[in-house]
Chains A and B, each alone.
Chain A
């Protein structure tokens, strides 16, 4: 739905596409063929180019990664990916990513709500600015956040008397990952709130529901699939994030060292097998998250279809 109402949504948060069944569903005979007949030219050229380019740029390199991992024996692989320092990095990376995604879940819903429902000065500007984390290079975000949240920084100096240190601590990682994931929930929820029919809320009000009840029972359930998708996208992005985190994290092993940094550390020591093993674990997790997002989308289209 969102795809039709919003002609040019953001590539980076584009949801995995669901195939819509066209009325001209393939006939039984057509099912046997690889491609349905069409008068349009260029299929072989376009698909051939796509597959070759995809294989060269993405598939071949990624399979090199997996093949390189198999040069390690299973026990050696297991030893590398479950070493204490690596386990601490997983805990930190996933913990901080989860926390940042949860912050973005609530803040994203709030921002989307305010942008869709209310009028205020500078709204268009704010709306355009939400995509800043997609456009701003991560290294720039990293040094800017570090300067702000350092103990002598503009925000940091207010937090020191409260006993909170953000920069160079795990909390700093959460701040950086919150910045990076900020647009995802906003941009997935915004079109859903926009499309929500006012009649539904009017009906709820007529039936005697309070505004809070309407939100809880009518509005919120409609946004759940979009919230979940945005949450998972933000989480997936945060898990792999490197540029913005390394400046603010402090990068102390066992305390503030994220998994991508661990991979770089191993590479710098020419431990290619070790770096590859950890990277493979990250890759498998990425695949898992893609699968999860596809699943949420599938569930969403099914639910949406049923409501219609």
Chain B
């Protein structure tokens, strides 16, 4: 959040005494240190406890590699699905007025509030051996639960609202004037979308994609319910970390965890960069509007 870094200049009357300021800063930093920084550092410290050789060995072990491949595959399927949905939902909700819009928004938000375990469970109830479609799937030899499609479905559910949620307020704030102008000037629907709408929402879209990606790669609870934990087949990296940890193979567990932690740090960096770009663009737009 870049806004927060621009501290307002304040007069002495509306400032706290220096000792209190440092006390508050110290308190905040101590809290963040114990709850954020130390856990993050400990992941890397534990991973490297027995040296680089063992660390590397844990990473290139076949099960670890296949878990990482599965994680990337699941993300590669779930992300585009929710991307297309997010854009479609935001287009309908932000650019048009229709009845039941608030209800639709609430329903889109639903996966945020549902426990990951419940999210996994609903797919077991649908596609599991004793589920609604279970017998039919069995008869046609299609496996969804305890197989990759189930993991993809659970991940799609968990990351469902991320991109739509970013785009809806952004596109609502932008209004419809530019698109209307494009239509009046004779653009086709797709031309308008690619040349007007997409450039306007690109930072918000990227921001949503980054968050969606992070959650898709890291999802644990929902995936754990539908995966069946078959090593080398249906284990994603977070599940692999759990198995290694429960086998007291701490170095290997933390080695795989450190990859996920690195991805998290990368996510935060990318997110900060996108915020910075969006801020810059906004400042640029504001200056151009003033010049006119």
A binds B: yes
Binding site for B on A (CB under 8 A): 3-12, 14, 16-17, 19-20, 22, 26, 34-36, 38-43, 45-47, 49-51, 53-54, 57-62, 64-65, 68, 107, 110-111, 113-120, 123-124, 126-141, 143-145, 147-148, 154-155, 175, 178-179, 182, 187, 190-191, 194, 198, 201-202, 205-206, 211, 214, 236, 239-243, 247, 259-261, 263-264, 267, 270, 272, 275-276, 279, 282-283, 286-287, 289-290, 294
Chain A contacts for B116, CB-based, 8 A: 240-243, 260
11 residue pairs bridging A and B, Cβ less than 8 Å apart: A35-B98, A36-B98, A107-B28, A110-B28, A132-B268, A135-B265, A144-B39, A147-B46, A241-B116, A247-B245, A270-B130
Q: Are B4 and A190 in contact (CB under 8 A)?
A: yes
The 0/1 profile, CB within 8 Å of A marked 1, for residues 1-40 of chain B is 1011101101101111100010011011101101111111
Q: Are B109 and A134 in contact (CB under 8 A)?
A: no
- Residues in B whose Cβ lies below 8 Å from that of A264: 117, 224-225
A38, A42, A267: which has the most chain B beta carbons within 10 Å?
A42
Known A50-B85, A50-B89, A119-B7; contact A7-B96, beta-carbon cutoff 8 A: no
Q: Are B96 and A35 in contact (CB under 8 A)?
A: yes
At the interface, is chain A mostly helix, strand, loop or mixed?
A: helix
Q: Which residue of B lies closest to A49 (CB)?
A: B88
Residues of A within 8 A of B163 (CB): 11
Q: In the complex, identify which listed stretch (B55-63, B135-143, B176-184) lies at the interface while the others stay far away.
A: B176-184
Residue of A nearest to B259 (CB): A140
Closest 4 CB pairs of A and B: A240-B115, A137-B218, A243-B220, A242-B221
Residue in A closest to B33 when the chains form the complex, CB atoms: A126
Asked if B267 contacts A116 (CB within 8 A), the reply is no
Count chain B CB atoms within 10 A of each CB in A4, A5, A7 and give the residue with the most. A7
Query: Beyond A132-B36, A240-B118: 13 further Cβ-contacts under 8 Å?
Result: A3-B169, A20-B172, A53-B85, A129-B32, A137-B220, A139-B220, A140-B43, A141-B39, A179-B36, A198-B14, A242-B116, A290-B109, A290-B113
A272 vs B99: C-alpha distance in the bound complex, in angstroms? Answer: 38
A267 and B218 contacting across the interface, CB-CB below 8 Å: no
A61 and B125 contact, Cβ closer than 8 Å, known pairs A7-B278, A16-B105, A117-B7: yes
- How many angstroms from the CA of A43 to the CA of B93 in the assembled complex? 9
A116 partner residues in chain B, CB cutoff 8 A? 4, 7
Q: A11-B162, A263-B117 are in contact. Are A155 and B105 (CB under 8 A)?
A: no
C-alpha gap A273/B245 in the complex (Å): 31
Q: Check if B28 sits within 8 Å of A64, measured CB to CB.
A: no
Cβ contact within 8 Å between A194 and B204 = no
Contacts of B98 in A (CB 8 A): 34-36, 43, 47
Please, how many angstroms separate the alpha-carbon atoms of A119 and B157 in the complex?
41
B166 pairs with A8, CB closer than 8 A:
yes
A127–B110 Cα distance when bound, in Å, is 28
Q: How far is the CA of A242 from the CA of B222 in the complex (A)?
A: 9
In the complex, what residues of A have CB within 8 A of residue B128's CB? Answer: 272
**Chain B residues whose C-beta falls within 8 Å of the C-beta of A241 in the assembled complex:** 115-116, 221
Interface pair B122/A62, CB less than 8 Å apart: yes
**Contacting pair B260 A137 (CB below 8 A):** yes
Contact partners of A206 in chain B: CB under 8 A: 13
Q: Is the CB of A118 within 8 A of B24?
A: yes
Answer whether residue B148 sits at the interface, using C-beta atoms and an 8 A cutoff.
no
Number of B residues near A (Cβ < 8 Å) is: 131
Q: A36-B97, A126-B29 are in contact. Are A154 and B38 (CB under 8 A)?
A: yes
Q: A136-B264, A247-B245 are known contacts. Are A65 and B89 too (CB-CB below 8 A)?
A: no
| B7 lies within 8 A of A118 (CB) | yes
Q: Which residues of B78-121 have CB atoms within 8 Å of chain A's CB atoms?
A: 84-85, 88-89, 91-93, 95-99, 101-102, 104-118, 121
CA separation between A206 and B121, bound complex, in Å?
60
Could you tell me the distance in whole angstroms from the C-beta of A108 to the nearest C-beta in chain B? 9
**Chain A, residue nearest B182 (CB):** A40
Does B261 sit at the interface, judged by CB under 8 A? yes
A140 to chain B, nearest CB (A): 4
The listed residue (A5, A49, A119, A267) touching B124 by CB distance below 8 A is A267
Residue of A136, A139, A267 most packed against chain B (CB within 10 A): A139
Q: Are B115 and A111 in contact (CB under 8 A)?
A: no
Q: CB of B198 within 8 A of chain A?
A: no
B220-A3 in contact (CB<8A):
no
A17 touching B168 by the CB < 8 A rule?
yes
Assess the B1–A6 pair: CB atoms within 8 A: yes
Contact between B161 and A11 (Cβ–Cβ < 8 Å)?
yes
- Bound-complex Cα distance A263 to B119 (A): 11
Q: Can you list, as one digit per residue, whether each of B207-218 has a CB less than 8 Å from chain A (1) or not (0)? A: 110011011011
B54 within 8 A of A: no
Q: With CB as the reference atom, state the residue of chain A lying closest to B213.
A: A135
Residues of chain A with a CB closer than 8 A to B157's CB: 57-58, 61
Q: How far is the CA of A175 from the CA of B268 in the complex (A)?
A: 22
State whether A283 touches B118 (Cβ < 8 A).
Answer: yes
Inter-chain contact A40/B180, CB cutoff 8 Å:
yes
Contact present for A131 and B203 (CB under 8 Å): no
| A43 and B92 contact, CB distance less than 8 A | yes
Question: Inside 8 A of B212's CB, which chain A residues have their CB?
Answer: 11
